[in-house]
Amino acid sequence: MMNNNEQVSPSTKDNSVVDDKKNVQEKEKENNNETKNNNNNSGTESNNNNNNNNNNNNNNNNNNTATPPAADGSTTPKKLTLKTSMNEIKLSTVDRVVPSVKYPRAEPLAHDVLFNADKTINLPKLQEHFFNEGRLTHDDVIEIVKMTAEILEKEPTLLCIDAPITVCGDTHGQFYDLIKIFENDIGGNPANTNYLFLGDYVDRGYFSMEVILYLYCCKINYPNTFFLLRGNHECRHLTEYFTFKEECLHKYSEEIYDFITESFNALPLAALMNGKFLCIHGGLSPDIKTLDDIANIDRFKEPPSSGPMCDLLWADPMEEFSPDIREHFVPNDIRGCSYLFSYRAVCSFLQKNKLLSVIRAHEAQNAGYKMHLQNDATGFPSVITLFSAPNYLDAYNNKGAVLRYENNIMNIRQFTYSPHPYWLPNFMDVFTWSMPFVSEKVAEMLLVLLNLCNDEEAEKEEKKESSPTEEEKRRQMLRAKVKSVSKMMRMFTLLRQERETIMMIKSFSPSRKIPQGLLTEGKDALKKALGDFAKARKMDMANEKRPPMLDRVNSRGELLRMNSRGELFRINSRGELFRSNSHNELRPSNSPQETIKITECDDKAFKH
C-alpha cells in the first residue's frame, strides 16, 4: 500500500488511468448517467482509492488540478454533479414550492366511508376529512341535508330538553373552533354529551359549509340529544348578503345552497331547558307574553322583518340594563329591526312564566359570555349571553365560551381560537390579490417619467425668455404632479404590504370601502383599527344591521316583494298584486327555584 505522498511510476499511472475509466463506466451504468468522463491528465494519486481518481479526472478536465482529500481526513469525497447547460437543469412539477403548507384533500370522501351501514354518519372520518379541507360529493351533501330536514320538521317550534347539557352560542363558520368545543375538557363528545346550539352557524367565517354539514351530521347521529335552534343568519336574505352563498357556490353549487337555505326553515326557534331556562338566539318580543306564544309561531318560512319570529332572532338587551329604565321595549336602531328589551321586561316575563333566566347568543362578547343584571326575585342573572366564536373574524381577539349545565351547577368554559387554513378574502384568486403590486409598479414608472419631464422642462425653461411668474407656475405644476404620483405610489405600496388588513377593514363596511383618510395615515393606523375588541366591534357595527330586502324577478318576469310580516307578493307587468304561496320564488333566477353555582374555566388549564 502507498500513502498519498509517494510518487508513482509512469506505468503505474497508465494502469491507474485505465482502471479509472473502467470504474467510471461502471458508475455510469449503475446511475444511468450519460455524462462521459475523459481522463486526459495524470497526477499523483493513491492506488487504493478509485473514487478519488474519478473525481480528480473530472476536475482535471476543467482546471488540471488534483482534488485534495476531505477535510476530515477521509478518502471518500462528496459526489459532484456538473451541469454543462441550462437545458440539463430540471425543475420539479410535482413537489410544492412551500412543502410545509399541507395540501388540501383533492378527492371527496367516498360514500361508503362517509355513511355507516345503518345510514348514520362516520363522524371521526368526516371530521378528519373536513379538517384537511376535504369536500363531499354533491349527492352526499343533498342526502345529508334532506335527512336532517326530515328530523327537524318533526320537532316542535319550542323544544323541551333536560340537563345535563352543553349550550353553545354563535359559531359563524369557524369549523376549527367548533372541533375544539367537542373536546372532553370543554364541551364534551357529542356521543355522550347533550348539546344545544343557539344559531348563527354560517356567514362571516370561511368554513360555514363545514360547520353546517358537520352539525347536521351530528343531528342525524344523535337526533334526541343534539339540538339546533335557528339564528338570524339562517335565512336566504342574510346568507346572500354576507359570505355563505358565495362560499357555497365556490365549494359546491347553487342547488346545494337552495337545499340548505330551505332546511333552515325547519329549525326550531326556542328551547325550554329543565323547565327553568328559556334558550333563544336573539331576545324577547312585546308580542310574546307566554311560552305558548312561542310554540304557536309558524316557523316554516323566511323570517319577516317584524313580529314575534323576527324578535326571537334579532332582539337585544338594552345597553343600560337597569331597573331605572321603565320602558319594556324600544326600537332597535343598531339592528334596523326588532327591539331592545329592558331589565323590567325580562323580569316580568320570567315571573309570569316561572323561569330563572333567558340564555341567548347573537352578540359578540370579549370574554365569550356576559352575565347581565341579577334578578332580585331569584338571585340569578336575568339574561346570560353566550358567544362561541373566539377571535371573531380573525380580528376581535375575543374568547369563546360554552355553558355546561349539570346537577344544578353551571360551568361557563372559555376557550381560545384554533389556527385554521388561510383563505384570501372573499375567496379571491391570486391574480386579483396581486393587482396592488402591479399598480405600485405602474405608479413607480409614472413617477420616474414625471421626474424626467421635470428635469427636461426645467432646462428648457432656463433657455426661454419668460417672466419669473410664469416659470414658477410651470415648476409648481410639475412639482404638484410629482407629489401626487409619489403619494399614489406610497398608497399602492401600503395596499400591497397591508392587503390582508385592508380587506378585513373593508369587510366591516357595508359599502366595502376603507374609511376616508385611513389609508393615507399609514400602516400603523390600519393596525390600530383592528387592535382590540372594542375597536373591531365598532368598525363592524354596520354589519349588525339587517340588510335591506331586495326586490327580485321570478322566471315569469314578475316582481317579488316581501312585506314586514314575511308575506310574499307577486307584481306582474300590469301592476296587479298577487299573494305568493311559496317562498321558493325568492330564489334568484340564476318547577321550584334552585341555587345554581357558576364557575369559570379557561382552556389553558386543560391538557390537550
82 belongs to a structural domain: no
First to last CA, the chain: 63
CB 368 within 8 A of CB 399: yes
For 401, phi and psi rounded to 5 degrees? -150, 150
* Rounded alpha-carbon distances, angstroms, from residue 28 to 19, 23, 53, 62: 14, 9, 15, 20
Omega before residue 592 within 30° of 0, cis? no
> Is residue 42 domain-shared with residue 184, that is, in the same domain?
no
Q: 385-403, pLDDT tens digit by residue? A: 999 999 998 889 999 999 9
- Residue 303 resides in a domain: no
Average pLDDT over residues 139-146: 98
Task: Tell me what pLDDT residue 552 has.
Answer: 52
Confidence band (pLDDT; 50, 70, 90) for 65?
Answer: very low
State whether 487 and 562 are in the same domain. no
Per-residue exposure over 319-336, b if at least 16 CB sit within 10 Å of its own CB, e if not? eebeeeeeebbeebeebe
Buried (b) or exposed (e) across 166-205, using 16+ Cβ within 10 A?
Answer: bbbbbbbbbbbbbbbbbeeebbbebeebbbbbbbbbbbbb
Whether residue 534 is predicted with pLDDT greater than 70 in this model: the reply is no
Indicate which CATH number applies to the domain containing 196.
3.60.21.10
pLDDT band for 103, please (50, 70, 90 cuts): confident
Residue 317 lies in a domain: no
Pick from 46, 47, 89, 85: which is nearest to 68 by CA?
Answer: 46
Which of the two residues, 144 and 510, has the higher pLDDT score?
144
Q: What average pLDDT does range 180-202 have in this prediction?
A: 97
Number of domains in the chain: 4
Residues 471 and 564 in one domain: no
Q: Give 102's pLDDT tier (boundaries 50, 70, 90).
A: confident
Give pLDDT, residue 162. 95
Reported as a pLDDT band with limits 50, 70 and 90, residue 452 is low
Which of the four pLDDT bands, split at 50, 70 and 90, describes residue 470?
confident
pLDDT band at 120 (very low <50, low <70, confident <90, very high): very high
Structural domain span for residue 505: 429-544
Q: Residue 5 has what pLDDT? A: 40
pLDDT at 259: 97
Q: How far is CA 359 from CA 26, 190, 371, in A?
A: 80, 21, 10
Decide if pLDDT at 26 tops 60: no
Q: Is residue 473 situated within a structural domain?
A: yes
Q: Which residue has the higher pLDDT, 564 or 267?
A: 267
More confident residue, 123 or 543: 123
Q: Are residues 433 and 419 in the same domain?
A: no
Contact 556, 522 (CB under 8 A): no
In terms of pLDDT, which residue wins out, 548 or 565?
548
Axis crossing angle, helix 244-251 with helix 208-221, rounded to the nearest 10 = 80
Give catalytic residues, as residue numbers: 233
Mean pLDDT, range 117-141, rounded to an integer = 97
100 in a structural domain: no
Instruction: Quote the percentage of the chain above a pLDDT of 90.
Output: 50
Is the pLDDT confidence value at 170 over 90?
Answer: yes
The answer on pLDDT for 569 being more than 60 is no
Q: Which residue has the higher pLDDT, 569 or 477?
A: 477
Q: With respect to residue 315, please indicate whether it lies within any of the assigned structural domains.
A: no
Same domain, 383 and 514: no
Let me know whether 410 and 515 are in one domain: no
> Residue 160's pLDDT is what?
97
**Of 174, 161, 178, 171, nearest in space to 123 by CA:** 178
In a domain, 84, yes or no: no
Check whether residue 276 and residue 354 sit in a common domain.
Answer: yes
Q: Are residues 519 and 576 in the same domain?
A: no
How sure is the predictor about 58, in pLDDT bands with cuts at 50, 70 and 90? very low
Exposed, middle or buried, 395 (CB in 10 Å: 0-12/13-18/19+)? Answer: buried
Is the pLDDT at 10 greater than 60, yes or no? Answer: no
Mean pLDDT of 29-39: 46
Q: Over the chain, what is the mean pLDDT?
A: 77
Would you say residue 365 has pLDDT above 60?
Answer: yes
Q: Is residue 494 part of a domain?
A: yes
Average pLDDT over residues 513-520: 58
Most confident of 104-118, 478-492, 519-533: 104-118
Q: Do 36 and 178 have their domain in common?
A: no
Q: Do 419 and 446 sit in the same domain of this protein? A: no
For residue 593, what is the enclosing H or E element? none
Residues 344 and 358 in one domain: yes
Q: What's the pTM?
A: 0.68
Same domain membership, residue 523 and residue 392: no
